[in-house]
Structure 1
């Protein structure tokens, strides 16, 4: 299928009757073009001038490859086989002489004509390059440390290590820590490094390398990786010379302090990068929130705007009639009686009240939606506070209302509520609402996919709240969708794990939800599911947080 037909089908599918495929071709912000069999431009849309500065007359008749960066040109790059689709990214010439990164999708019809769509991804490429530069700078910093540094998991393996580590102990690939560092066949009977896993406290100790006689001052620091798994950062600094002289010792202590500061800064940068990932996922959730709110606000606003015109006309007619009464009062003249009959004063007076009531109702609806937005995001409440859990659930459901409604390809999703008598709960309200949004969104996604292949089953989401004991509450969210396999359930809370198609999910939503519940609220987040039986998520948090 060629690209224009593809657009036409999508326009018909969405029941947009006011646009045709030519309108869509000309109004789209993406770069559309048709390339003749000889590889030259045959037709382009106006977006080319907006994005790359080229007018149609600058391109038509010129080869497509003429504008590709020389380093990105591949022989026979354009697709030649009919009815095949191709995708790649390359740099494309802007009219100002610079190059922009574009992501291409191309397809060829039976006559060899190529239909292409390009998206401007220049900003994304620049962001990726900046992140890679920052990461490489961090690695360079760690490699410049005079101390050896490595990551120690609790299985005696060796994770990341810097250049100094390899200089001291050689390549540790395939070796356990006691083999690579001490040359032993069994773990050390007493290992200060592993004491960190038991105490979760830093350890400062000295170690003598039996092979060289060098003395190292070891600093072990606990932290958790992106998966929430406990690990230890170990840094070892050679202090052999320090032991030989007090003067050298004082100097070495000063250097050690400086290098510790560098290590702390490196760790701060690692934690900052982790926070950026979390913030990115939160912004993704807020993006869904804004889209839902925008849809909900659109209807009442349109309702009000549509009635304002009529209200103004009625008011104007009433004013004219009153002015006529004042002129002819006290004895109604025939012209006034005629005006009353022609304008239907009683009907207008009565209908005007209804119109104003309708506009008031629309305004109240907008107000409720905005209040729900604030209750959900709670952007001004970064600290812990006491809140009504049910209010957060209702706000989240209101924001997702558009996704719960019936669509052309699936029925409406029914919400079944079973709320218990909950006390006010101390929590980070905005973060807890983010967890509710993630779980409910995943449930809706599962039901939309499931309802397509199981039309006889009415999609439902059940929400139940209850007090578990005197000091904690539970929120249960269950769907009657397709469920999960044991393999998916086992990896459900792993960072970057997702079963959604590319571009539909980051794989961070559930892992961050798990972190919010377990670390920020000292609670539990679990899932019960099996194929064909749906999925149930259980959130358990204390009623009062312990500082």
Structure 2
């Protein structure tokens, strides 16, 4: 009896506890009602004997057992209803989420379309801006090329101006010879005419001697006249735009001519300046196919820089009392071409300056004394125009050497 009553009390207390807990959960009130119904039916079933003894209730045994069966069925029925309700709620929630996802997806698709349209507009705008910038850059490039051509022409005219005094001095020498030999030839002609007027008494040996002297004078006049013509032709070629036509050229003769022109050009501006010109030209130097006026322009620029360096050292007194300005030019045949070395014992330069020598507009001369284009143009002529090389070796305070290698293009 106590065992049966104890188990019934435990079962009832568990039903009461689950029923109380179910009210705390949202939507679990169905289970609460089921538990409450089961609790009620079980209480009637277990308390029937006492209720019947007290006269409160009188039923047959089938009805009493029916309370027990109903109590047992209340819990699973309530749980089934709760699960059904939960399933419906979950389905509705998932359906709502699906609709929300579809709405967000549609909204995202619309936003993506708007973004794509915006990107297309930005792309078109960017393409238009790129085209405009490209046109502007092309215009700037054309203007830069025009300016560069103008600067090149100015540099050529500047070097032509430096040549003028040297050319005037150089051309004066053959003209003096032409004038002198012309005067002597005129006197010889007069003597010859006088000798012929003597008739039978004329001296035929003297006439032959006079004719020989006259012939020699005329050959010298022709030689120096051609020399003057060559100097004028060199000046015209230097001032003329390069045609790019390569011709076999004697580098020794070209270097000797421009060396003297550069020296006399500097002497015309500085009468007190003197320098030693030392040449070491290889006798077996082969002719190379080059654009003569371009290579002449390079050599002239190197010679001008060398004479300028020794002049600055001389004027500053850095060389001391016994300093003798000197410029040396050497040529020699190398595999595949000719090498020209232009050396001076001038001020020299440090490593930092040497690295910038061939950059456009870089110059070590005072403002207004140089454009900074001479060496850069020379470098382009040798490297790009002729496929050669131009480099410098220098020790600050002791001098510099520029080495030009000119290949013999075939």
Return the TM-score normalized by structure 1: 0.44
Q: Which structure ranks higher in relative contact order (CA pairs < 8 Å, sequence separation ≥ 6)? A: 2
Q: Is the 8 A contact 2:188 2:214 kept in 1?
A: no
Tell me how far 1:534 sits from its aligned partner.
Answer: 0.7
Q: Which residue of 1 aligns with 2:399?
A: 534
Tell me how far 1:467 sits from its aligned partner.
Answer: 4.8
**1:479-530 CA distance string (max 9 Å, x none):** 1222123343233223333333455432221121122223323333221112
Mapped pair 1:465 → 2:328: no
Q: Is the 8 A contact 1:475 1:540 kept in 2?
A: yes
Correspondence list, 1:152-167, <5 A: none
- Is the partner of 1:237 in helix, strand or coil? helix
Q: Is the 8 A contact 1:303 1:359 kept in 2?
A: no
Q: Which residue of 2 aligns with 1:364?
A: 223
Correspondence list, 1:360-439, <5 A: 360-371=219-230, 374=233, 377=237, 379=240, 382-388=243-249, 389-400=251-262, 402=264, 409-419=272-282, 421-439=284-302
Go from structure 1 to structure 2 and tell me whether the alpha carbon gap of 1:369 and 1:446 turns closer, same or farther (over 3 Å shift).
Answer: farther
Q: State how far apart, in whole Å, the 1-side matches of 2:372 and 2:404 are.
A: 19
Q: Which residue of 2 aligns with 1:237?
A: 128
Tell me how far 1:393 sits from its aligned partner.
Answer: 1.9
Q: Which residue of 2 aligns with 1:496?
A: 361
- Is the partner of 1:215 in helix, strand or coil? helix
Go from structure 1 to structure 2 and tell me whether the alpha carbon gap of 1:375 and 1:312 turns closer, same or farther (over 3 Å shift).
Answer: closer
Q: Is the 8 A contact 2:192 2:210 kept in 1?
A: no
Q: Which residue of 2 aligns with 1:302?
A: 176
Q: Is the 8 A contact 1:405 1:412 kept in 2?
A: no
Return the structure number with greater strand share.
1
In the alignment, structure 2 segments of 5+ residues that lack a partner are 1-115
Q: Is the 8 A contact 1:496 1:506 kept in 2?
A: yes
Q: State how far apart, in whole Å, the 1-side matches of 2:399 and 2:214 are.
A: 46
Q: Which of the pair has more CA radius of gyration? A: 2
Correspondence list, 1:480-519, <5 A: 480-519=345-384
**1:71-119 CA distance string (max 9 Å, x none):** xxxxxxxxxxxxxxxxxxxxxxxxxxxxxxxxxxxxxxxxxxxxxxxxx
Q: Which residue of 1 aligns with 2:122?
A: 214
Q: Which residue of 2 aligns with 1:543?
A: 408
Return the structure number with greater helix share.
2
Q: State how far apart, in whole Å, the 2-side matches of 1:308 and 1:286 are.
A: 31
Q: Is the 8 A contact 2:195 2:207 kept in 1?
A: no
Return the TM-score normalized by structure 2: 0.57
Q: Is the 8 A contact 2:394 2:400 kept in 1?
A: yes
Q: Which residue of 2 aligns with 1:66?
A: none
Q: How many residues get paired?
A: 288
Q: Is the 8 A contact 1:411 1:451 kept in 2?
A: no
Q: State how far apart, in whole Å, the 2-side matches of 1:315 and 1:541 are.
A: 50
Correspondence list, 1:100-499, <5 A: 214-215=122-123, 237-238=128-129, 264-309=138-183, 311-313=185-187, 315-316=189-190, 318-320=192-194, 322-323=196-197, 325-326=198-199, 354=213, 357-358=216-217, 360-371=219-230, 374=233, 377=237, 379=240, 382-388=243-249, 389-400=251-262, 402=264, 409-419=272-282, 421-452=284-315, 453=317, 454=319, 455-469=321-335, 471=336, 473-499=338-364
- Is the partner of 2:128 in helix, strand or coil? strand
Q: State how far apart, in whole Å, the 2-side matches of 1:473 and 1:488 are.
A: 27
**1:162-202 CA distance string (max 9 Å, x none):** xxxxxxxxxxxxxxxxxxxxxxxxxxxxxxxxxxxxxxxxx
In the alignment, structure 1 segments of 5+ residues that lack a partner are 1-207, 219-235, 240-255
Tell me how far 1:307 sits from its aligned partner.
Answer: 5.0
Tell me how far 1:439 sits from its aligned partner.
Answer: 0.4
Go from structure 1 to structure 2 and tell me whether the alpha carbon gap of 1:272 and 1:352 turns closer, same or farther (over 3 Å shift).
Answer: same
Tell me how far 1:409 sits from its aligned partner.
Answer: 2.7
Go from structure 1 to structure 2 and tell me whether the alpha carbon gap of 1:348 and 1:309 turns closer, same or farther (over 3 Å shift).
Answer: farther
Q: Which residue of 2 aligns with 1:96?
A: none
Q: Is the 8 A contact 1:311 1:352 kept in 2?
A: no
Give RMSD over aligned pairs: 4.2
